[in-house]
């Protein structure tokens, strides 16, 4: 492996060539020689059309494997560009939960075209999953699971497993489920117990009865907590009538959690349109970033207009212009820390929107200490620079008060947004900086106006 | 459950009372009546001493379960406050990987005291794990696994499993491993195959030979990719001599990934000391935040000192003071977006430090478009406000150029930091904003100085 890696420093060049030459064999052997990370990197570097062509050059099963390896943000674009019958062949090879994710992220008419080309049974399964909220147990579950009637004997189960070994080997499932005559969940069968019991025994006698199950509308956070509590590989999902409809794997919930954490990271960084990859078209990348920046520049102009109101003071004490960006930036930093703590505590379920008062109290204490420390620091800098104690008092007091405001607001804003079902990661930052900028500018320039006689 | 929840809106009040009254029975029945989220919240709201006392009131096994439910940031503090023999009793009940995590995060002499109180075999196991880097397979693995000699028969294995059913039920392991005479990994045994084969068969005949294993120093990112490729519940971990030393579970790797993503989120938000919970002591919360803020205020003062160099220009055109914070903030926003894309692409393995030129090229394109758009927008605002086209040109051109600089730098800084083994999530932000602030102030005020005749 190392030899090949050293040989092919940029594996996308030969990959692109093989694709352009319709050399399916070359593509397959090249991809097989690469580890997953290099394969993903090589596919990332291809042109959009080459990526789509790659999917049609290889067998649908391998194409599905490749889709599993590359970032999800690319998968939808690729499927989007394929002919519906090609896309259907590949999607049929994906696990049911991924099928539903991809189809759900396509335009409805495109998803419908692909569903029309899929095997009717698979299409029906995908439609079922599409009906659920993608962050619920119904949306995260897979429909590949083993279920046996409660009247079956150990022998029947073992024979069935032997006969279908091929099919079942694709199932990421470690348990079999037992259902009653109404297709309702009756018990869970551990493979271990099949092993330790005589062949003639009825599964109803050896199953674990009253099994824990999750309701199809259980949220992703609740599922994460469920799997924290119970170290299961998966849990059966039931509908309102207790019918067994699927199985949600701890692995899939964990993956959804990683995505949610990454999503928060992107949103606080000002990327509101989801994952951006540099292989995406320039227009998409630029527009997604601009949509956020253009809101922000509006808010910025609004906040800075406060400065214009104090033109006279500024003209008299030009040194204040140096401190305005410092106070704006430092308040933003102090507030962002509090925002991050609130978002994390909300995610961990340690704080709820109703806890406003407790959060305010806790942040007020930190705000007082840190405001005092930063305010004194800045006052000393101002004094040292201009030798004017009043200038120190003005900028120090402004930073102190504004830090307290920023820290309290930063703690509260995510809770209030959550209360009104808005996304804290997305909106907290701009709201915070706009308010603290306005407040900060007003404090510095207001205090300076009051102390004008001592500053000039 | 719902009734109780409605009754006890603030479950920490009765919990605190029961703890203060040494009412172990009351504590247990109260905790049992709460779901995990409420239990975690209730424990979070206790005083530090109450939390420690709670751990000594209940059985060590239950205490270990509780530690599993509360945020990890609290676990170390709690264990830290316990008597070594108490701590040892509880730690013995934790899974081996968590044992090593907790002991590794304590002060070395405290960890040593607790290890001294632990059962010698468990202490030896914990010491073994402590020796590995916590982000490697060795650090993430568990030492609870099933291994059988390759000469064993199916019957032997089944009998052993039956005899030790109690012990093994604590193992989160779905496979058994087969080792040769040198304790080297020889194969993997699926429970299914024990089921389908006669009792007298030798396990060497039915095991899957040449099993995939991971080396103890495989990194967390590589492990995540490994489990993406192979949908295993766990993988055997081997040392340099191919000895089987543990098993790493996909579940534990996923959890480490969630933590890493949350960690990036905290770091870009200016929380460099790890997870902060509002239940932590005020001093800790305030100091951790201040340590970051005080570096930042230094950088801020440095950047703003550029403004002082252009005092004459500012005095002549006071309107410029309004635009300085806008240009500083907008450049920061544009740069942060590029930073986030680079950090994500680094995490996903799509970009490497050597890809500097490609990233520069990609970001330059976005920077040109977005810089032009934002620059024009700000120019129009300036023109509309002061009716002076030259002011529009000065601030528009400065924002345009500074956006290009910020976007390119934002894309490159994480790669450079990664190249020198620094943490991109932690250091990218401050470096970026300091450079772009200085550059932005210099551009606006420099251009204004050149065009001074047209501005006054």
Indicate if the alpha-carbon torsion angle B68, B74, B75, B79 is positive or negative: negative
Residue B190 has pLDDT above 90, yes or no: no
Interface contact A345, partner B, CB < 8 A: yes
- pLDDT, position A5: 42
Among A279, A337, A352, A403, pick the best mutation site for testing chain B contact (most B Cβ within 10 A): A337
Please name the residues between 103 and 132 in chain B that touch chain A, using a CB distance below 8 Å: none
In 10 A of CB A159, how many CB atoms?
13
pTM above 0.90, yes or no: no
- pLDDT, position A274: 84
Please name the residues between 412 and 431 in chain A that touch chain B, using a CB distance below 8 Å: none
Query: Residue A216: CB partners within 8 Å, gap ≥ 6?
Result: A132, A136, A137, A138, A141, A237, A238, A239, A240, A245, A246
- pLDDT, position A10: 79
Q: Do A191 and B196 touch (CB under 8 A)?
A: no
- pLDDT, position B172: 58
pLDDT band, very low/low/confident/very high, at B152 (cuts 50, 70, 90): very high
Domain boundaries, chain B: 2-136, 147-266, 282-455
Whether A195 and B159 have beta carbons less than 8 Å apart is answered as no
Query: How many interface pairs between A and B have CB atoms less than 8 angstroms apart?
Result: 308
- pLDDT, position A8: 52
Q: Do A319 and B308 touch (CB under 8 A)?
A: yes
Interface contact B158, partner A, CB < 8 A: yes
What's the pLDDT tens digit per position in B272-329?
888 899 999 999 999 999 999 999 999 999 999 999 999 999 999 999 999 999 999 9
Q: How would CATH label the architecture of B147-266? A: Roll (3.10)
The interaxial angle of helices A424-450 and B320-347, nearest 10 deg, is 150
Q: Do B315 and A311 touch (CB under 8 A)?
A: no
Q: Do A286 and B321 touch (CB under 8 A)?
A: no
Q: Do B277 and A350 touch (CB under 8 A)?
A: yes
State the fold for domain A282-455.
Answer: Tetracycline Repressor; domain 2 (1.10.357)
Mean pLDDT of chain A: 89
Query: ipTM, 2 decimals?
Result: 0.88
**Residue percentage of chain B with pLDDT more than 70:** 97
Three-class SS of residue B319? coil
The CATH class for the domain spanning B2-136 reads mainly alpha
Q: Do B325 and A328 touch (CB under 8 A)?
A: yes
What's the pLDDT tens digit per position in A44-74?
999 888 999 999 999 999 999 888 888 888 8
Interface contact B25, partner A, CB < 8 A: no
Residue B7 has pLDDT above 50, yes or no: no
What's the pLDDT tens digit per position in B335-379?
999 999 999 999 888 898 989 999 999 999 999 999 999 999 999
Pick the residue from chain B with its C-alpha nearest to A160.
B196
Q: What is residue A332's DSSP assignment?
A: H
What's the pLDDT tens digit per position in A130-185?
999 888 999 999 888 888 999 999 888 888 888 887 777 666 556 789 999 888 99
Please name the residues between 163 and 182 in chain B that touch chain A, using a CB distance below 8 Å: 172, 174
Residue B218 has pLDDT above 90, yes or no: yes
Sheet holding A175-179, edge to edge: A147-149, A175-179, A185-190, A208-209
Residue B95 has pLDDT above 50, yes or no: yes
- Choose among B262, B269, B365: nearest Cβ to A339: B269
Pick the residue from chain B with its C-alpha nearest to A375.
B297
The minimum CA-CA distance between A120 and chain B, rounded to whole Å, is 27
- pLDDT, position A171: 66
- pLDDT, position B9: 66
Burial of A3 (0-12, 13-18, 19+ CB in 10 A): exposed
- pLDDT, position A174: 67
Q: Do A71 and B301 touch (CB under 8 A)?
A: no
What's the pLDDT tens digit per position in A101-125?
999 999 999 999 999 999 998 898 8
The CATH class for the domain spanning A147-265 reads alpha beta
- Residue of A418, A403, A299 whose CA lies nearest to A347: A418
- pLDDT, position B2: 41
Distance CA(A51)–CA(A53), nearest Å, equals 5
**Residue percentage of chain B with pLDDT more than 90:** 56
- pLDDT, position B6: 44
- End-to-end CA separation in angstroms for chain A: 73
Residue B391 has pLDDT above 60, yes or no: yes
In 10 A of CB B15, how many CB atoms?
23
- Residue of B274, B257, B288 whose CA lies nearest to B73: B274
The minimum CA-CA distance between B337 and chain A, rounded to whole Å, is 5
State the fold for domain A2-135.
Answer: MgtE N-terminal fold (1.25.60)
Q: What is the pLDDT along chain A (456 residues), one digit of tens a residue?
A: 344 444 456 788 889 999 999 999 999 999 888 887 788 889 999 988 899 999 999 999 999 988 888 888 889 889 988 999 999 999 999 988 889 999 999 999 999 999 999 999 889 889 988 999 888 999 999 888 888 999 999 888 888 888 887 777 666 556 789 999 888 999 988 877 777 788 888 999 989 888 889 999 999 988 988 887 777 888 999 999 989 999 998 888 988 888 888 888 899 899 988 889 999 999 999 999 999 999 999 999 999 999 999 999 999 999 999 999 999 999 999 999 999 999 999 988 889 898 999 999 999 999 999 999 999 999 999 999 999 999 999 999 999 999 999 999 999 999 999 999 898 988 999 999 999 999 999 999 999 999 999 988
Continuous segment of H or E residues that includes residue B237 = strand B234-238
């Amino acid at each position: 492996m190392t030899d090949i890696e050293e040989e092919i420093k940029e594996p996308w060049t030969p990959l692109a060539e093989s694709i352009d030459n319709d050399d399916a064999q070359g593509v397959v052997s090249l991809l097989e020689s690469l580890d997953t990370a290099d394969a993903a990197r090589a596919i990332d570097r291809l042109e959009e059309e080459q990526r789509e062509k790659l999917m049609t050059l290889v067998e649908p099963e391998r194409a599905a494997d490749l889709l599993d390896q590359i970032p999800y943000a690319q998968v939808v674009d690729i499927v989007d560009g394929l002919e519906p019958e090609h896309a259907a062949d590949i999607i049929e090879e994906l696990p049911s939960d991924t099928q539903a994710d991809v189809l759900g992220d396509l335009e409805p008419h495109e998803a419908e075209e692909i569903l029309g080309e899929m095997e009717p049974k698979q299409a029906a399964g995908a439609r079922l999953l599409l009906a659920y909220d993608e962050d619920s147990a119904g949306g995260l579950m897979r429909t590949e699971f083993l279920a046996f009637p409660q009247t079956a004997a150990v022998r029947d189960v073992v024979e069935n497993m032997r006969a279908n070994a091929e099919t079942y080997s694709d199932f990421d499932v470690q348990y079999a489920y037992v259902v009653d005559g109404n297709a309702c969940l009756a018990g869970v069968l551990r493979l271990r117990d099949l092993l330790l019991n005589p062949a003639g025994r009825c599964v109803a006698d050896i199953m674990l009865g009253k099994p824990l199950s999750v309701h199809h509308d259980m949220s992703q956070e609740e599922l994460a907590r469920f799997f924290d509590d119970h170290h299961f590989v998966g849990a059966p999902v039931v509908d309102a009538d207790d019918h067994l409809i699927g199985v949600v794997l701890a692995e899939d919930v964990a993956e959804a959690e990683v995505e949610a954490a990454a999503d928060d990271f992107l949103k606080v960084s000002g990327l509101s349109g989801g994952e951006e990859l540099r292989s995406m078209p320039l227009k998409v990348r630029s527009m997604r970033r601009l949509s956020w920046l253009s809101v922000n520049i509006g808010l910025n102009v609004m906040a800075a207009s406060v400065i214009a109101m104090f033109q006279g003071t500024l003209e008299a004490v030009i040194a204040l212009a140096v401190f305005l960006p410092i106070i704006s930036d430092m308040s933003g930093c102090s507030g962002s820390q509090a925002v991050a703590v609130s978002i994390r505590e909300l995610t961990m379920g340690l704080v709820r929107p109703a806890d406003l008062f407790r959060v305010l109290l806790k942040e007020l204490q930190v705000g007082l200490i840190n405001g005092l420390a930063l305010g004194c620091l800045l006052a000393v800098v101002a004094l040292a620079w201009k030798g004017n104690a009043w200038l120190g008092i003005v900028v120090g007091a402004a930073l102190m008060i504004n830090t307290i405001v920023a820290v309290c607001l930063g703690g509260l804003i995510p809770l209030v947004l959550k209360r009104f079902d808005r996304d804290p990661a997305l909106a907290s930052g701009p709201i915070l900086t706009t308010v603290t900028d306005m407040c900060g500018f007003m404090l510095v320039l207001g205090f300076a106006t009051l102390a004008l006689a001592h500053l000039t």
